[in-house]
Amino acid sequence: MKITFLGTSHGVPAADRFCSCSMIEAGDAVYFIDAGAPLVESVLKAGRQVSDVRALFTTHVHGDHTAGLFHLADLVDWYYREHSMDFYVADGCLVDATKGMIVACNGGKAVHEDRVRFHVIDPSVPYEDENIKIEFIPTKHMPEPYHSYSMLVTEGDRRVLFSGDFSNRLAKADVPELLSEEPVDAFICEMAHFGVEDIKPYLDTCKAKAVYFQHVFPLVKYDGIKEISKSYDFPIYTPNDGDSFEV
Ligand SMILES: [Zn+2]
Ligand SMILES: [Zn+2]
């Protein structure tokens, strides 16, 4: 699979960074994890078509991870009428809000739910198609009754773990245990809600072949990441928007 970082900024965009958004290309399909960057423009810039987009997964409801969802869902509803796709969200409130906006845009007509398919994530039910499997691992970033997830993406024997957002200072110990238990090809991790020192114990036992820190705030943490990266056998990267890698 090929992962492209479309948005690497923290909760606020910068002149050269959109908010959280990653594009996954696997088989003949395109998937998104989070929607903090313009999705249609990004697909077209990558030389793909909106009709290639199979599904969008949002790790939690915060706007820096979901802002682009409405625009894509609305366009699939009224413009890309030959296309159908799935939207997986952490909480039903996002489904209700998005549907409400589409209905208003349509002048009161119902959403084409046979083509614009919304799902509230059930962590006991992974997403699976002929290309990839995505497992949803609850994190404690969001207070109850809301939900947030890390996501483990598998294609054949390749696996990439996306952190989503974690708890402040990692105080709720919500880094997925599998990071220390099983090798993954890449761990794509946020770095806005805790310090470099807070994640260090998890890196000490980490079995990932490579770690990518994005969603970095404050920016001075880039220096800290560079410093600690010398201590590990695996590479630690800080990708910019547009960077990509394949596993
Ligand atoms: Zn965030
Ligand atoms: Zn968040």
Question: Each residue of 218-231: pLDDT tens digit?
Answer: 999 999 999 999 99
> 61 C-alpha to center of ligand 2: Å?
7
What lies within 8 Å, CB to CB, of 169 at 6+ separation is 193, 194, 195, 198
Residue 224: its H or E element = helix 221-229
> 172 C-alpha to center of ligand 1: Å?
17
Relative to the alpha carbon of 143, which ligand is closest?
2
Q: Give the global pTM.
A: 0.97
Q: Quick check: 39 and 71 in contact, CB under 8 A? A: yes
Helix axes 196-204, 221-229, angle to 10 degrees: 20
> 198 C-alpha to center of ligand 2: Å?
18
Q: Quick check: 98 and 69 in contact, CB under 8 A? A: yes
State the chain's mean pLDDT as an integer. 98
Strand order across the 116-120 sheet: 116-120, 85-89, 53-57, 29-33, 21-26, 2-7, 244-246
> 127 C-alpha to center of ligand 1: Å?
22
What is residue 119's predicted lDDT score, i.e. its pLDDT? Answer: 98
> 193 C-alpha to center of ligand 2: Å?
9
Number of neighbours of residue 3 by Cβ within 10 angstroms:
25
Q: Residues 67-85: what's their mean pLDDT?
A: 98
Q: Which residues are within 5 Å of ligand 2 (an ion), measured at CB?
A: 62, 165
> 30 C-alpha to center of ligand 2: Å?
24
User: CA 126: distance to chain centroid?
Assistant: 15
> 23 C-alpha to center of ligand 2: Å?
19
> 110 C-alpha to center of ligand 2: Å?
30
Relative to the alpha carbon of 7, which ligand is closest?
1
Relative to the alpha carbon of 35, which ligand is closest?
1
Report pLDDT digits (tens) over 139-157: 999 999 999 999 999 999 9
Relative to the alpha carbon of 19, which ligand is closest?
1
Q: In CATH, which of 3.90.1150.10, 3.10.129.10, 3.60.15.10, 3.30.390.50 is domain 2-242?
A: 3.60.15.10
> 246 C-alpha to center of ligand 2: Å?
26
What is residue 66's predicted lDDT score, i.e. its pLDDT? Answer: 98
